[in-house]
A and B are shown apart, each in its own frame.
Chain A
């Protein structure tokens, strides 16, 4: 260790070394910012992955539209009267009828899981393991039993 008796001001030297190291360290940290930022999504990527506008004026009650957003399928379902009125009756067989579990935006944390009850907008990917569920209405031919009210079914095709 350098001591005062060597004719060297050890304390001053220590201060200068520490101060220079701190400033230099701050400079190095600052220099890493562009490299890390450059790997974040670029302006073009953010634009491509930005919000999608959809014209739903042609969507009839009971119909479902599929739109792509960030590479994923987004379903827009216009619930008809029967769907809306029968929704509460299914509460006992549905796992999260009030949307209490945190897997949707706050504005959709309700029994309809949507902003407007009539229009359901969901990412068409099952929360379990990521299959894209089938869309089976009660009116089309199906093997799901007489009490099948529709519409989303996530099951391997061979089990139906």
Chain B
């Protein structure tokens, strides 16, 4: 005699919600009940959790040092000012990684100066307030 079909339809994207703890208690109970009786979904749960762990395990990323950039060169077409700001930002970020360095304030001031010049030079920088989410539709 064959086993009864698993309760409810296959879980689909509820599997991701389950591993992300985004299901409410009723939804989680229903999902676990289905998983107990469905090999296909149990297998998809395992591989979903696996790929989630791969992305979650990715290391933090450091910007390349300004010396590396000078050696390899930035891609063509980047405005000189923007490149200078980007390099300064990279210095600020590197200083943030080594927060105990005493030279932070002068670096931050460098970014301040360049950032101001970029903002004034680019009318497109009059952007919408940060709190307004951009609609995808």
A and B together in one complex: no
